[in-house]
Structure 1
Amino acid sequence: MESGLEVAGMEALAERVARMSAGDLMVVLAALLRGGGEGELADGLARAAVEPKCAAEAVAAAFRAAV
């Protein structure tokens, strides 16, 4: 996620995620998919019809589950 969002360190990552754009959301979603073994799905994300609200909820759920 750090490289995709062009930040260095957890503090910078947290700051960036706090003001996430739609593009940032797609980067994070793709990183989570790849981390979960879904590289092919992550690669096709740019061509997928992604509902931003659902994507944001999925990302938030993933972060909550990791804590």
Structure 2
Amino acid sequence: MTPDEYAAALEAERAARIERVRYVVVPDGDAFLLTRRNGARQSRGVAWYVSQETADLAAALLNRLKEDEA
């Protein structure tokens, strides 16, 4: 494997890890549920928020941390 092929394989793996999990805000009645959604679109609740702005901020922060980790 050449260095360029190795770098491309690492980048592909990083991109796949980023796409696996996303944090998404879902409205639920008068609250907003922060969910963790996987590549198969299965999700589970992480936290409830009263304000949509706060929920969106938490989702953006967690998605950014996930990208930095990858």
State the TM-score bracket (shorter-chain normalisation). 0.3 to 0.5
Greater Rg by CA: 2
Structure with a larger share of its residues in helix: 1
Higher strand share: 2
What TM-score, normalized by structure 2, do the two folds share? 0.33
